[in-house]
């Protein structure tokens, strides 16, 4: 679970902070540089098992982690988003493509 409730506040859970840190570390190792232009995101979701999942539930954690990791400055830069669920793979996986909007 990415978020948790504490009283009237909604916070990022320990698991959410760990996910965000792992994404940030991975992007740093890739040498990703920040994009300031409008972008499109293509996401392939490979679940770890056959349990029923809604694809929209992964969007907020992924978009938050990408922004926190410095891929883009603000969510408002995302002008198009495409997500598709693919086959089950051990441990699950995401493939994210960041495409700059044509000038």
pLDDT of residue 1 exceeding 70, the answer is no
Which residues, 6+ apart, have CB-to-CB distance to 91 below 8 Å?
Answer: 48
pLDDT of residue 103 exceeding 70, the answer is no
- Could you state, in order of their start, the residue ranges of all structural domains in the chain? 3-100
* 59-68 vs 14-30: helix crossing angle, rounded to 10: 50
How does pLDDT run across 26-77, given as a tens digit for each residue?
Answer: 999 998 888 889 999 999 999 999 999 888 888 989 999 999 999 999 889 9
Q: What is the pLDDT of residue 14?
A: 85
> So what's the architecture of 3-100 in CATH?
2-Layer Sandwich (3.30)
Number of residues that make up the chain: 103
Phi, psi (deg, nearest 5) at residue 8: -95, 0
């Amino acid at each position: 679970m990415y978020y948790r409730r504490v009283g009237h506040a909604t916070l990022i859970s320990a698991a959410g902070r760990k996910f965000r840190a792992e994404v940030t570390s991975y992007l740093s190792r890739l040498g990703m540089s920040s994009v300031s232009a409008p972008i499109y995101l293509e996401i392939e979701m490979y679940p770890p098992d056959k349990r029923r999942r809604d694809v929209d539930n992964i969007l907020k954690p992924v978009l938050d982690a990408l922004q926190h990791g410095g891929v883009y400055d603000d969510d408002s830069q995302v002008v198009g988003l495409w997500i598709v669920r693919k086959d089950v793979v051990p441990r699950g996986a995401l493939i994210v493509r960041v495409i700059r909007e044509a000038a």
